[in-house]
Amino acid sequence: MQIDLSGRTALVTGSTQGIGYAIAVGLARAGATVLINGRSDTSVGAALDRLTAEVPDATVVAAPADVSTEDGTHALVQAHPDVDVLVNNLGIFGATPALEIDDDEWRRYFEVNVLAAVRLIRAYLPGMKDRGWGRILSIASDSAVVIPAEMIHYGMSKTALLAVSRGFAKEAAGSGVTVNSVIAGPTHTGGVETFVRDLVGDELPWDEAQHEFMVKYRPQSLIQRLIEPEEIANMVVYLSSSFASATTGGALRVDGGYVDSILP
């Protein structure tokens, strides 16, 4: 399957590292012009340099903005008013005992993980509908379906993101625009490495620490390892292409078999 996104412009939020960066690389390899987003000029510039070194013929554009805020989103949309592919990847996570999550923390998770995506969909969906083509993807998590006891505020926000995607898919019905979410399983990123260390300690070598984490905290995984970011990116690139034109309103799983159900 040869995926060609030449002539398409893609915005990937939170794409200076981790899953977002891997998605940006995948889209650039497929020929899309990719807007790299992060909160600072420094982080975005470093990601651009790294990506162009990996993909020398890539077309990448700096799009620094804090899209977790209304002002940041407005500035980004003003600078880049039209995109063909929107990937809502920005998200925060962390372990906190359920009874210690205060109101401000509940609001912060909803603001960053849900409202940031909603604002960008509201901004870009009308133009996509007018042009008769577009792809909107939101990176959700297995935690949306299997709520982790150690971070139920994160799980709540990802469950909401599934509903947001399904609802906006109905808004885009019949327009040529598809809206989907991707349920990512436990993924090997720098942030997850820190998270794993917080839970299992610093004494074990990484391979052993990862194994203990999966056995103790994510025993449902059928691949019994962390997923690599490129594996998430592969799904996103496919869903961004013309090959996925009949897939919309869905929650597509790249979870290593973690969610123990036939449907999400």
Report how far apart, in Å, the C-alpha atoms of 132 and of each of 11, 140, 178 are: 18, 26, 10
State the catalytic residue, choosing from 21, 124, 154, 258. 154
Quick check: is 154 catalytic? yes
Q: Which strands form 59-62's sheet, in the order they lie side by side?
A: 59-62, 33-36, 9-12, 85-88, 134-141, 177-184, 251-254
The 3-state DSSP class for residue 136 equals strand
How many whole angstroms separate alpha carbon 31 and alpha carbon 242? Answer: 13
Q: How far is the C-alpha of 239 from the C-alpha of 49, rounded, in Å? A: 26
CA distances from 127 to 150, 172, 177, 178 (A): 40, 11, 10, 13
Three-class secondary structure of residue 179 per DSSP: strand
How far apart CA 240 and CA 252 sit, in angstroms, is 13
For the annotated catalytic residues, the residue numbers are 154
